[in-house]
Structure 1
Amino acid sequence: MNIPDLTVIEMIALFALGFVMVVAGGVGFMRSNPVLMESRHRLSLGVVFAAAGFMFVAGIGVHFTGSSNTSFLKGQMQRASQCELTSESAHPEARGAGSGVISRQIVACMRTAGYNWSERTAQCQDAPVATNGYCYEPVAWFDRAVTTTQLMFD
């Protein structure tokens, strides 16, 4: 298991632990009732609990999708650049020749790294070339889900 995989597992574990803490702390806090102004109405309890849970999930989501520790989209861009450098270094005579050797090797390198070619994103449709990191989609479902989420905010 490499370091990015370990980071993902740590983030999921911390997310689950934090959610349990919010639930336990929120229920305990609401039972003491200082925030609800002496109201024991179930709806008000639910609203406060839901608001606390939403703030926690939103905060973790922002951290998780934007953290440099989890490199999903940034890592994909870096990997595309590495594949480009490797391909151009292996075939210096093919640069600018229009033979497509470098492009095919970049796509093959990305496939080996766990990415498939995909022209679905708007950023790829603007420039559908092998060197465009937006033109790849992670094979792993979790990485794909996080990357898709990051693309919505990019």
Structure 2
Amino acid sequence: MTSNPATPTPPTVPTRHLELRLSPTPRGARLARRLCAERLHAWGIPYGTEAHEAVSLLVAELCTNAVRHGRVRGRDFHLRLTVAVQPATAVRIEVADTRGERTPEPAPQLPGPDSTDGRGLVLVAALADRWGWGPRPCGAPGKVVWAEYGGPSHPAQTVLGQI
């Protein structure tokens, strides 16, 4: 994990973007995942592929964390999805919330088999090529948690089977 922001560098290849502001509720997190899944498919990362499944799971985990741990009443969370045109599986996900004092920390150990939470950042670390967090740009309150996915290096089924 990177504990400081990776300043996004201007892309050297053409990219596609999706930006959403959503309510910090479970419904907002579900909507983010569904809209991103549809957009990925439209951009050439089809449903059912390893890349689609991995990126959809990364979006779901980061948005759920923004809702559960970054929520401030009356403040939306922001999602930005950037996909390189070639190769179509190079993806950057950024989720911004307004709770800068609650930084993402992976659990020191995996939760027990009966636990219903505590695996989100473990999944993010396993599926993403890189991930990290930093302050929101322009001095806005809160933080941005980001993940980059460059292609299937760790099959999702293998990762999920280990957790």
TM-score by length of 2: 0.27
More strand, by proportion: 2
More helix, by proportion: 1
TM-score by length of 1: 0.28
Larger gyration radius, structure 1 or structure 2: 1
